[in-house]
Amino acid sequence: MKPALAGVLGVVSLAIVIELAVQAGWVSSLVVARPSALPAAFMRLWSEGFVAGPVGITLAQAFTATGAAAALGIPWGYWLWRKPVLGEAYTPWIGAAFAAPTVLLFPLFLVLFGRGYATTVFVGFIAAVIPIVLKTREAFLGVPKVLLDVGRSFRLSGAALLRRVAFPAAVPGIFTGLRLGLIYALVNIIGMEFLIDFGGLGRIVSEMYFRFEIPGMYVAILLIVLVSWTFLAALSRLETWLRPR
């Protein structure tokens, strides 16, 4: 409970500092909302239908993008590990592609997919698949050779060796890639929703911003944090189930 308590105390302390700074006029309320104004803003957003629906939309898009990225990225990373020549040849190129700001290509995606969920999900997928590929390959490279040798000494087949030895040992690294992929997918999906004014929470942030409802904008941002925390908690549970501690 100590880490959780320390986190709560830190958030409360930060909220108090922000509240005092805004009330004293050190920070403009047009830039930072007072924490005490957020509950009323949340109820207003809820009454206007700007909470449950947008949260569900963003959750669904992030889940779809990350799931598709995992379905492609994990086998791809495994293949790069199984074929060291391919891994050494293509990993630098994949890493370089990771630095490309794909969200800036949104006009092209709008032409290809239209102004809809296909565009936002595709942008999230592109952002998520690269870290999943890289961390999956890194995870399998980190499996101790002695574990693989012990598995071979028991005459395990290639599939059994992967299922019983290599994959369980690589699970922590793979889930690191999934967490990174989820974060990047969510960031890019929210960014696309903001840019094209379509979708879930990113659209709400955009609308609150253009309506100069600063407390409502910060409520939407906090909901984005809540969505991210929900996904990360679910991934932690799944990792524990696949590889009990």
Which token pair is 144?
């101790």
| Selection from 53, 8, 18 nearest residue 203 by Cα | 53
- Residue 163 is given by DSSP the state I
Alpha helices in the chain (DSSP H): 2-23, 38-47, 52-82, 84-98, 106-113, 117-141, 145-153, 158-161, 167-196, 201-210, 214-242
pLDDT digits (tens, 9 = 90+) for 55-98: 888 888 988 999 999 999 999 999 998 888 888 888 888 887 77
pLDDT digits (tens, 9 = 90+) for 212-232: 888 888 888 888 888 888 888
Binning pLDDT at 50, 70 and 90, where does residue 125 land?
A: very high
Handedness of CA 199, 205, 210, 211 (dihedral sign): positive
Query: What is the pLDDT at residue 28?
Result: 83
Cα(138)–Cα(87) distance, rounded to whole angstroms? 10
Which token pair is 77?
């990373």
Which has more pLDDT, 164 or 122? Answer: 122
Query: What is the pLDDT at residue 68?
Result: 94
Place of tokens 């990350």: 66
Binning pLDDT at 50, 70 and 90, where does residue 24 land?
A: confident
CA geometry: angle 153, 157, 163, nearest 5 deg: 100
CATH number for region 33-242? 1.10.3720.10
pTM, entire model: 0.81
Whether the per-residue pLDDT at 243 is higher than 70: the answer is no
Which token pair is 100?
């490309």
| Selection from 121, 123, 122, 86 nearest residue 101 by Cα | 123
Handedness of CA 33, 11, 237, 243 (dihedral sign): positive
Query: What is the pLDDT at residue 244?
Result: 54
Query: What is the pLDDT at residue 159?
Result: 82
Query: What is the pLDDT at residue 12?
Result: 87
Query: What is the pLDDT at residue 133?
Result: 92
Whether the per-residue pLDDT at 242 is higher than 80: the answer is no
Whether the per-residue pLDDT at 175 is higher than 60: the answer is yes
| Selection from 225, 223, 227, 213 nearest residue 33 by Cα | 213
- What average pLDDT does range 34-52 have in this prediction? 86
- What average pLDDT does range 182-205 have in this prediction? 85
Which token pair is 166?
């290599």
> Do residues 218 and 29 touch, judged by C-beta distance below 8 A?
no
